[in-house]
Amino acid sequence: MNTQSCASWDLSKWIGCQKLELDTPCLVVDLDGLEGNLRRMEKSVRPFGKGLRPHVKTHKCSMIARKQVAAGAVGLCVAKLSEAEALVDRGLRGVLVTGPVVTPQIINRLLDVAGKDPSLMVVVDHIQNVQALQKAALSKGLIIPVLLDVDIGLHRTGASPARMLELANRIADQSALCLKGIQAYAGHVQHMKSHAFRKQASLESFQPAVDMLHQIRGAGIPCEIVSGGGTGTFDIDTAIPEVTELQVGSYVFMDAEYLEVGSADHAERFTEFLPALTLLTTVVSVNQKDFVTVDAGLKALYKDGASPIVRCPSGQRLRYDWFGDEYGKLSFDPGSAGPSLGSRIELIVSHCDPTVNLFDSLFVTQNDRVVDVWPIDLRGKCQ
Amino acid sequence: MNTQSCASWDLSKWIGCQKLELDTPCLVVDLDGLEGNLRRMEKSVRPFGKGLRPHVKTHKCSMIARKQVAAGAVGLCVAKLSEAEALVDRGLRGVLVTGPVVTPQIINRLLDVAGKDPSLMVVVDHIQNVQALQKAALSKGLIIPVLLDVDIGLHRTGASPARMLELANRIADQSALCLKGIQAYAGHVQHMKSHAFRKQASLESFQPAVDMLHQIRGAGIPCEIVSGGGTGTFDIDTAIPEVTELQVGSYVFMDAEYLEVGSADHAERFTEFLPALTLLTTVVSVNQKDFVTVDAGLKALYKDGASPIVRCPSGQRLRYDWFGDEYGKLSFDPGSAGPSLGSRIELIVSHCDPTVNLFDSLFVTQNDRVVDVWPIDLRGKCQ
């Protein structure tokens, strides 16, 4: 028992209980599964000389971030500044904010964090943002390490490769900014079913950014970091010599959406990482012939991505569907007996990131017994 | 300024600011709009002699629950026991748990709350649950007021009307349970577009339950409460003489989903309640020709229900779509100028309940100025 990690004393009472005794709905992490995923990811990128900067937005849990650092991560990614604030306050370092920070107030908050941790990095994708960061950092006497965010096909954030050299020059001109490298995230390819197509798409997406990188370096601008990739391309982007680190996220837990993606050795399934996160739910109503109602709906299981995968201890064939904000419908084959009132059902969630963000705690188990409770201490930090 | 209501001192700094200065993404409540909705709902049901037991699952905010009680509510509904625990701890009374409480541990928690508040009610829909509640309540020397939950068409929870008399008799036989009435929620009709069809569907749905209610009363079983209805049928179910109270929820905020529902005086729009909740978001990337990227995605705006409605101060025509966990895509007409980097955009959310559950605070405004910050203190309470 690690009492320091408990979300509260009230929750520590669960330590030692069987998983299926937990009040529901709740999220359960299989510790061996999680640690196996961390080890396998480190082991798969190390031979290629790449680093990992895992994305904390997936798990929102500083305990897991510490484990990722302990496993060898070179740093951590966050989507929003409020996540960076929380990690730095908890003593974690090497944080990269992977989205642009643009308003004066949030830039001020960024500078407060940068004042505590000079290793904090942020991406930029527009000259206006470069100028705003420069002005604010200069006024505080700070130098902010930045990555140039390059759009390699997702079109969500990032400058086009054609604009990279110009922007890199502009960043290099700023006295209060230090260009550390580029970020290139091919979010649009991560869930492509075929590993072969995904490989081709990812390598092709990276190429224009990599070509421009050489021009930037050729112009005498140091640009050592190339950060990108995700769980879907963890064994693909290692083949790109210029890539220095991978921003993998979902591999820690896996989810139904990623499990449906093909891998190098299996056309239908993602085999390299094991599902380590489940949602536990309880049957609360049994008045229908071919389904029962469970206590996990939209607010406990985010409705996005693939259908949740039902793990039923008794081997019944069950299908989950959402049934409003608070409930789910668990259908069974006509003629078979449904789960009984009060029975617990375990689900692999559809899309782990937004589902984890619905809860305050992770119940950590080994051999189906609760061994710890970890606060999801970055939950709700979306600013 | 009401400092007691502030989620934290850190947030109280926003009081006095303009709405558009807030850090984003965040939820904003227009106080006059909210209070107008509360008044209009009370005013619409009072002439029919009906009570309101508003559903707290919509707003998850005890400040709003207090306002509903102050406006005349006879009590409050919650979906889950953990919400009831929070309300009773905060001194609110007349709470009805609208879903079955079935496992031994949660029943024990129910009894702990019932020990603090004898007015707490819970629904039952199955004889096994009746027996479990009886046994547990008896062992603690408590008498639990219950409503018989009747399935009038949603098929989510509730016994069929055909089983009502039998179950009512069984409940009446239990020494530690007190049958206070029935719950009949026609969730399947609330969002029907046509008011006329919705009216017909709601009245027809209620009829079998109402017929059986008379048989139950005829058998000498007192059954005074008939609780049901929602925002979609607030002006329909008042016509059912047997109904004693309405479980309205979304009317406090309204959302894009409900605003698309026709009302008695408008075929296309829900006119009686005004949108009082908006999500504020910021443009963080402007590198594309026909859209910009904003800082609100799946984790800030739950992807369920109708498309969010964009309110753009400059009168631009903008359409929102989700763009991953952390971002949204705001498309504008080709050829027109898009919103500038850093500009704030206000959205009416798709489905208010699960979106409110993503945040910790509501920024309360009057005339676009922040006048208070209310904690969403029941957020995440899904057990």
Residues of chain A positioned with their CB less than 8 A from the CB of B353:
298-299, 325
* pLDDT tens string B137-146: 999 999 999 9
Over 60: is that where the pLDDT of A4 sits?
no
The phi and psi torsions of B192 (rounded to 5 degrees) equal -60, 130
Is B342 in the A-facing interface, judged by CB distances under 8 Å?
Answer: yes
Whether B300 contacts chain A with CB within 8 A? yes
Q: pLDDT digit string (tens) for B176-202?
A: 999 999 999 999 999 999 999 999 999
Residues of A in contact with B300 (CB under 8 A): 382
Q: Give the separation between CA B119 and CA B250, rounded to whole angstroms.
A: 24
Distance from CA of A285 to the nearest CA of B (A): 6
Chain-chain contact of B304 with A283 (C-beta, under 8 angstroms): no
Find, among A220, A229, A217, the residue nearest to A183 by Cα: A229
Which pLDDT band holds residue B7 (cuts at 50, 70, 90)? low
Within 8 A by CB and 6+ apart from A81, the residues are: A97, A101, A106, A109, A110, A113, A383
Q: Which residue of A has its CA nearest to B149?
A: A285
Percent of chain A with pLDDT over 90: 94
What pLDDT, on a 0 to 100 scale, did the predictor assign at position B1? 42
- In angstroms, the separation between the Cα of residue A238 and the nearest Cα of chain B is 24
Q: Which of B286, B279, B280 lies closest to B339 in space, CA to CA?
A: B286
- Mutation for A interface: B284, B350, B362, most A CBs within 10 A: B284
Six token digits for residue A334: 């006509």
In angstroms, what separates the C-alpha of A230 from chain B's closest C-alpha?
Answer: 14
Residue B313 confidence (pLDDT): 67
Q: What is the pLDDT of residues B51-74, one digit of tens each?
A: 999 999 999 999 999 999 999 999
Domains defined along chain B, listed by start: 3-28+271-375 (2.40.37.20), 33-257 (3.20.20.10)
Indicate yes or no: CB of B382 within 8 angstroms of CB of A323. Answer: no
Percentage of chain B exceeding pLDDT 70:
97
Give exposure, A164-174, as e/b (b: 16+ Cβ within 10 Å): bbebbebbbeb
Nearest CA in chain B to A283: B102
Q: Is the pLDDT of residue A3 over 60?
A: no
A274-288, A302-316, A364-378, B103-117: which has the minimum mean pLDDT? A302-316
Chain A (48-77) residues lying within 8 Å, Cβ to Cβ, of chain B: 57
Is the Cβ pair B380, A358 closer than 8 Å? yes
Contact between B125 and A382 using a beta-carbon 8 Å cutoff? no
Mutate: best of A26, A343, A382, A383, partner B, most B CBs <10 A: A382
The H-assigned helical ranges of A141-176 are 161-173
Are B299 and A357 inside 8 Å of each other by CB? yes
Q: Are the C-beta atoms of residues B26 and B221 closer than 8 Å to each other? A: no
Closest A-chain CA to B323:
A156
User: Between residues 82 and 141 of chain B, which touch chain A (CB distance below 8 Å)?
Assistant: 99-100, 102-103, 105-106, 109, 125-126, 128-129
A100 contacts B284? CB cut-off 8 A: yes
Chain A residues inside the 8 Å CB shell of B158: 285, 287
For chain B, what is the mean pLDDT? 96
User: How high is the pLDDT of residue A2?
Assistant: 47
Q: Is A13 in CB contact (< 8 Å) with chain B?
A: no
What distance lies between CA B304 and its chain's CA centroid?
15
B332 and chain A in contact, CB less than 8 A: no
Look at residue B3 in the predicted model and tell me its pLDDT. Answer: 42
- Tokens 């370092």 identify what position? A93
Which pLDDT belongs to residue B334?
84
Amino acid at B60: K
Average pLDDT for B270-278: 97
Q: Which of B326, B351, B382 sits opposite A80 (nearest CB)?
A: B326
Number of neighbouring beta carbons within 10 Å of residue A49: 10
Nearest CA in chain B to A289: B155
Span B75-95, average pLDDT: 98
In this prediction, the answer to ipTM > 0.85 reads: yes
Q: Which of A354, A259, A347 is nearest to A295 (CA)?
A: A347
pLDDT at A1 over 80: no
Taking residues B277-293, report their average pLDDT: 98
Residue A8: what pLDDT?
64
The reply to whether residue A303 touches residue B303, judged by beta carbons under 8 angstroms, is yes
Q: What residue of A is the nearest CA neighbor of B20?
A: A103
CA distance A129 to chain B (A): 8
B160 and chain A in contact, CB less than 8 A: yes
Checking if the pLDDT of A156 tops 70, the result is yes
In B246-275, the residues whose Cβ lies within 8 Å of chain A are none
pLDDT category, B226, cuts 50, 70, 90?
Answer: very high
Q: A245 — phi, psi (to 5°)?
A: -155, 150
Position A334 scores a pLDDT of 84
pLDDT tens, A32-84?
A: 999 999 999 999 999 999 999 999 999 999 999 999 999 999 999 999 999 99
Chain A residues touching residue B359 (CB < 8 angstroms)? 380
Q: Which of B168, B293, B156 is nearest to B220 (CA)?
A: B168
CA dist., res. A319 & res. A340, Å (int) = 15
pLDDT in tens, A117-135: 999 999 999 999 999 999 9
Question: What are the tens digits of pLDDT across the range B247-273?
Answer: 999 999 999 999 999 999 999 999 999
CB contact under 8 A, A125 and B80: no
Put simply, the answer to whether A293 touches B323 (Cβ < 8 Å) is: no
What is the average per-residue pLDDT within B296-318?
Answer: 91
Output the average pLDDT for chain A: 96
The residue assigned the tokens 């929870």 is: B157
- Contacts for B44 with CB less than 8 Å, ≥ 6 apart: B234, B235, B238, B272
Contacts of B285 in chain A (CB under 8 A): 100, 125-126, 156-158
Q: What is the pLDDT of residue B316?
A: 80
How much is the pTM?
A: 0.97
Closest alpha carbon within chain B to A24: B383
